[in-house]
Amino acid sequence: MVLAIDICNTNIKVGVWDGDNLLFVSRLETDRFKTEDGYAIELKNVFELYNVDCLKTHGSIISSVVPQITNAMANAVERLTGKKPIVVSPGIKTGLNIKTDDPAQLGSDIVVGAVAALSKYPKPIIIFDLGTATKISIIDANSCFLGCVILPGVRIGFDALSERAAQLPQVGLEAPDDIIGKNTIDSMRSGAVFGTASMMDGMVERIENRLSQKATVIATGGNLGDITSYCKSNVIHDANLLLEGLLIIYRKNVPVKL
């Protein structure tokens, strides 16, 4: 078994692979003040919840965009499993041909998602990762990672709107019945869902024009909701893309039979 952990700004996604079978997926809250003991206890509780023996893991791999807790999580995993985890960082084998100005600056989550997408989808590929930040990754027909687009995430954008505009409340990401809102909440939901879907469609069109060909469009991340179902583009929802990428990278760096 392989423990895969993806640390994002809001949530930590935890999955355990038994060969190619994903035994479970769990989410923890990202807490920059939690100690390694605290994370070890949370991980132990998750393993127990799903009746999986953590000591039977062959190894583990972590991707993180929150440097403040990367070491705490790595130490927690080692204490729990007895094995030092791989941390996705410059220098480990990924097989990804990165064509950006400084490949070392590329976020580990973006690398992991691209590795997974290349393993299972036709090229070129556009990946939307809708998390705390919305990240759009572009891979060309020659399997080269060309670069990405980054903008505020759906949730953080509307949280900021509520904080800065006194009369605007917190809203969920459910689509209203009509694109034209008749009240404040439905108006904001329309912006969140239909506005984001329109952004995705517009960016797909622009990127495909830049590539001069149609692309496979993938969406993943914690703020997807039903947004992709309102896109005019053909968008494939792949909830566990990053966990798959972590498993692939683990196998590239620990060539053992699992």
Looking at residue 258, its pLDDT comes to: 47
Residues 105 and 196 in one domain: yes
Q: What is the mean pLDDT of residues 107-121?
A: 96
Q: How far is the C-alpha of 158 from the C-alpha of 249, rounded, in Å?
A: 35
247 lies in some domain: no
Residues 120 and 231 in one domain: yes
Residues 64 and 130 in one domain: no
Cβ(116)–Cβ(239) below 8 Å: no
Residues 106 and 49 in one domain: no
Two structure tokens written together for 238: 């792949």
Per the prediction, the chain carries an average pLDDT of 92
pLDDT band at 226 (very low <50, low <70, confident <90, very high): confident
From 6, 109, 129, 238, the catalytic residue: 109
41 compared with 171, residue with greater pLDDT: 41
**Residue linked to tokens 């994903």:** 22
252 lies in some domain: no
pLDDT band at 207 (very low <50, low <70, confident <90, very high): very high
User: 123-143 pLDDT, tens per residue?
Assistant: 999 999 998 889 999 999 999
CATH number of the CATH domain containing 52? 3.30.420.40
Residues 134 and 230 in one domain: yes
251 lies in some domain: no
Residues 76 and 111 in one domain: no
61 lies in some domain: yes
Q: How far is the C-alpha of 128 from the C-alpha of 135, rounded, in Å?
A: 6
Looking at residue 237, its pLDDT comes to: 93
Element spanning 139, H or E: strand 133-139
**Residue linked to tokens 């179902």:** 229
Residues 135 and 71 in one domain: no
Parallel/antiparallel/unpaired status of strands 59-64 and 21-29 = unpaired
255 lies in some domain: no
Ranking 45-49, 96-100, 172-176, 204-208 by mean pLDDT, the lowest is 172-176
Two structure tokens written together for 204: 């797909």
pLDDT band at 223 (very low <50, low <70, confident <90, very high): low
Sheet order of strands, 235-237 included: 97-98, 144-152, 133-139, 125-130, 216-220, 235-237
Looking at residue 166, its pLDDT comes to: 58
Does residue 70 register a pLDDT over 60? yes
What is the residue range of 128's domain? Answer: 97-241
Residues 193 and 112 in one domain: yes
Which one-letter DSSP state was computed for residue 100?
S
Two structure tokens written together for 118: 């290349």
Cβ(6)–Cβ(112) below 8 Å: yes
pLDDT band at 204 (very low <50, low <70, confident <90, very high): very high
Residues 25 and 145 in one domain: no
92 lies in some domain: no
List the beta bridge partners of residue 138: 126, 147
Residues 102 and 189 in one domain: yes
Residues 168 and 198 in one domain: yes
- The verdict on whether 31 is a catalytic residue reads no
121 lies in some domain: yes
Residues 83 and 153 in one domain: no
Q: Give how many domains the chain has, as a whole number.
A: 2
| DSSP helix/strand/coil, 22 | strand
| DSSP helix/strand/coil, 158 | helix
Q: What is the mean pLDDT of residues 183-212?
A: 94
Two structure tokens written together for 121: 């989808």
Q: What is the mean pLDDT of residues 19-46?
A: 95
Which one-letter DSSP state was computed for residue 82?
S
Looking at residue 168, its pLDDT comes to: 64
Helix 108-120 and helix 241-253: axis angle, to 10°? 90
Ranking 54-58, 126-130, 224-228 by mean pLDDT, the lowest is 224-228
104 lies in some domain: yes
